[in-house]
Structure 1
């Protein structure tokens, strides 16, 4: 299975991306954007949550455990501290991403 995507800038902070047969619309909430789609941070959180729930479900199935449901709540606060591209040896990062995932069973 190969995953592929493409994206098109639609003005402001709006972007439309293609993922297989699906169109993913991203935007930022007002005042940064026009709030016409999920933010990039929301897509990132959704991807992380999906990864965890699928992994938990697969691990349970391998052990013969029947799950009734798996629910995760993730939240994050964006740090608007600039954009950095490229890799430069010896430079200090201007942003740090901190993830904390907790699970209770």
Structure 2
């Protein structure tokens, strides 16, 4: 087995819904992904009364998603629109940081 084959097999375990991943709607497509962190969830923004900052870091297969999201663009995750803050590619996965201001 080649190293690439080994990594692909590991992705199947990592993104298995019986192990780590869950199905979500990302960009209008049902897809397996991992939400690794929900940071600043509900943190009030000092300059905007009644608005909170929500940030999520997700891991999704590059192949399954089918495209690289644009930083600064918008992406819907489970009926919530987020700004794409950062996209990094690591061993066949996109690590995407999403951010939204929610009232």
Give the structure with the higher percent helix.
Answer: 1
State the TM-score, normalized to the length of structure 1. 0.26
Which structure has greater strand proportion? 2
Q: Which fold has the larger relative contact order, with Cα–Cα distance below 8 Å and residues 6 or more apart in sequence?
A: 2
State the TM-score, normalized to the length of structure 2.
Answer: 0.27
